[in-house]
Amino acid sequence: TSNRLRHVESMAIFPSGAGKIPALNAVILGEALASEEDDLVFPSDEFSQQALVPSPQKYLEIYKRSVEDPAGFWSDIASEFYWKKKWGDKVYDDNFDVRKGAIKIEWFKGGITNICYNCLDRNVEAGLGDKVAMYWEGNELNVDGKLTYSELLQKVCQLANYLKDIGVKKGDAVIVYLPMLMELPMTMLACARIGAVHSVVFAGFSAESLAQRIVDCKPKVVITCNAVNRGSKVIYLKDIVDTALVESAKNGVSVDVCLTYENKSAMSRENTKWQEGRDIWWQDVVPNYPSTCAVEWVDAEDPLFLLYTSGSTGKPKGVLHTTGGYMVYTATTFKYAFDYKSSDIYWCTADCGWITGHSYVTYGPMLNGASVLVFEGAPNYPDSGRCWDIVDKYKVTIFYTAPTLVRSLMRESEEYVKKYSRKSLRVLGSVGEPINPSAWRWFYNVVGDSRCPISDTWWQTETGGFLITPLPGAWPQKPGSATFPFFGVQPVIVDEKGDEIEGECSGYLCIKGSWPGAFRTLYGDHERYETTYFKPFAGYYFSGDGCSRDKDGYHWLTGRVDDVINVSGHRIGTAEVESALVSHPKCAEAAVVGVEHEVKGQGIYAFVTLVEGEPYSEELRKSLILTVRKQIGAFAAPDKIHWAPGLPKTRSGKIMRRILRKIAARQLDELGDTSTLADPSVVEQLIALGEDS
Ligand code: 6R9
């Protein structure tokens, strides 16, 4: 309790005038917090005292400067990195308002740097050459590896030299379809070193999804491996790539080189299908190249990577990030949100196929010279204690994961956790979807032994790095709240009309003004970038998320408000699933909604209308699901198919998803007004049929 008092008192000493920054007003008043103290979880004195940001005052002081003088704030931080040439007169230049012209975001323009150099060479030169950059834990117990910063630099240089040799140049796209081997971050860094633009495709995506991305960005080379072990399964990645390359060639994009890593523990090269001339074994070429490679110096605004993500239409969006701002932003957010210390062993369970793996497996941590653990396997293999076994084995201090994993482990016996010491842990993290308070408490109490603050980081592929996140030593936490904005970030909550709402409220979450890590465009489609993100609420970046702010100023994310669903932290556009379903010859129409799911957060619930005369059958249900797995990937397979003789539509033909969501959730007394439907009897039919019927 002394600890609790210390915090409440420290908040009370803020001059009330310091709360000019919206959303911070309530928090600075000690009384406001004290009244809800049952919901507050305080960092220990011991933790706060050693923390980079030890108190709310300190946070507020830094935050104030960051929003009052963004140029000064971010250029001070940027100066800690290596720049071949410093940026021009303007630290940043942006237009966030469509009414004033094209949307533009630039940070450190004219500055010349290289993010790979800053991740590796700079750390080696600072004396971290022998420090472990990556620990690698294989799928099977006792299969592991590691690389120091010097070793990683050498391997990155060899690959970079190879890529240059086959003609990959600055600005060229490289598609990477690899599992969580050390070669994945290595490949990203090698591309960055030569100024090539990597586009990592999550290795759970199907051949068709991969082909779609290849056709969109036309890479010089695709980098993959023959197969990978995941849990008790073997996944044959090279076969998927082969199919994708045939498919993309049909669409006019042929790829000359498929560099394939031989992942011996999963599959030997003898068994791998091979296309002479196109396919090259990594191990046959890369090690023969020199282990030093001159850096390609790039402008801060030159592209670093493309990452495809789901939106509310069927076509994935190529989110484009550039170099300088992204570098400064991921490094800084990593450092503060996890209270990073050089002695930390950091483990993020995300795959590099998603943004979390870009910003917080590869770039953010390595820019800080951290030791990063990369895990190839599945968290419940060979049993549900695997994560804690790994934590003990490597003495992991920062463990960053997703609510879906927490919930799935929470269902198993606590013995799987208690069996391991976990005493090395000091900070926990959560990302991907809102973490429900009960999962938060289990994570906090059981995994962290009520000792480790949880950084519930809210952000997106588009934002590059954390926008709303606790700073673990500073804030008392409320289970399930992402708390407060990171430095330089100005979140606002707007109503339907786009007017900012103050105080306790809920609405649409937008951001005012740019931050260095923001995406700069959608590849090849700046218009869609403006339409999707900047037009809904003119003057702001619109996140697509709903959010409420409580009386203490804490932010509570409430999920997507667009047609995107979040399944196990994976973003899936309902339109993508629908278009996969209707490609099935027996499907006439489909409408997909999200429905609450105990482990995955949201499950996929599909209403399907079959072509005239086609009878429902179990076989057909399976075949529809298989179609989605083949077109998108297993993670997008519908959990439920609800046969629908008709779909509820307005007279103008628009599907009323609101009603479908209620039917899926079995909230039949909340259907609302159905009188505007073209045929209200459709609803009765749907209810009568029920799911899977
Ligand atoms: C980083 C990442 C972004 C969407 C985002 C939101 C949800 C992510 C969250 C969260 C509540 C958190 N989301 N983190 N919701 N609390 N801590 O996940 O990127 O795959 O682009 O997804 O995920 O709905 O809009 P991405």
ipTM value for the complex = 0.99
The pLDDT > 70 percentage for the chain reads: 94
Atom nearest to 570 CA in ligand 1: 20
Closest protein CA for atom 5 of ligand 1:
460
Name residue 60's amino acid.
L
φ, ψ (nearest 5 deg) of residue 303: -65, 140
CA 200/CA 184 separation, integer angstroms: 9
Residue 148's beta-bridge partner residues? 132
Pocket of ligand 1 (CB under 6 A): 309, 354-356, 430-434, 456-461, 482, 543-545, 557, 559-560, 566, 569, 571
Atom nearest to 543 CA in ligand 1: 25
φ, ψ (nearest 5 deg) of residue 635: -65, -15
pTM higher than the cut 0.90: yes
What is the per-residue pLDDT for 188?
Answer: 99
What is the per-residue pLDDT for 8?
Answer: 38
CA 494/CA 485 separation, integer angstroms: 16
Instruction: Name the band, by pLDDT with cuts 50, 70 and 90, for residue 17.
Output: very low
What is the per-residue pLDDT for 480?
Answer: 94
Distance 617 CA to ligand 1 centre (A): 36
Closest protein CA for atom 17 of ligand 1:
458
Distance 103 CA to ligand 1 centre (A): 23
Atom nearest to 456 CA in ligand 1: 17
Mutate to test the pocket of ligand 1, among 545, 576, 600 (most ligand atoms within 8 A of CB): 545
pLDDT in tens, 143-155: 999 999 999 999 9
Average pLDDT, the chain: 92
Closest protein CA for atom 8 of ligand 1:
432
What is the per-residue pLDDT for 692?
Answer: 54
What is the per-residue pLDDT for 11?
Answer: 40
Residue 612, helix vs strand vs coil = coil
Q: Which two tokens stand for residue 121?
A: 């060479």
pLDDT in tens, 434-467: 999 999 999 999 999 999 999 999 999 999 999 9
Distance 157 CA to ligand 1 centre (A): 34
Distance 495 CA to ligand 1 centre (A): 21
Q: What is the CB-side half-sphere exposure of residue 657 using CA atoms within 13 A?
A: 16
In degrees, rounded to 5, the angle at the alpha carbon of residue 518 between the alpha carbons of residues 512 and 521 is 110
Atom nearest to 569 CA in ligand 1: 18
Closest protein CA for atom 11 of ligand 1:
434
What is the per-residue pLDDT for 38?
Answer: 53
Closest protein CA for atom 14 of ligand 1:
432
In the predicted structure, residue 322 carries a pLDDT above the cut 90: yes
What is the per-residue pLDDT for 690?
Answer: 72
In the predicted structure, residue 4 carries a pLDDT above the cut 70: no
Distance 460 CA to ligand 1 centre (A): 5
Please list the active-site residues.
562
Instruction: Name the band, by pLDDT with cuts 50, 70 and 90, for residue 32.
Output: very low
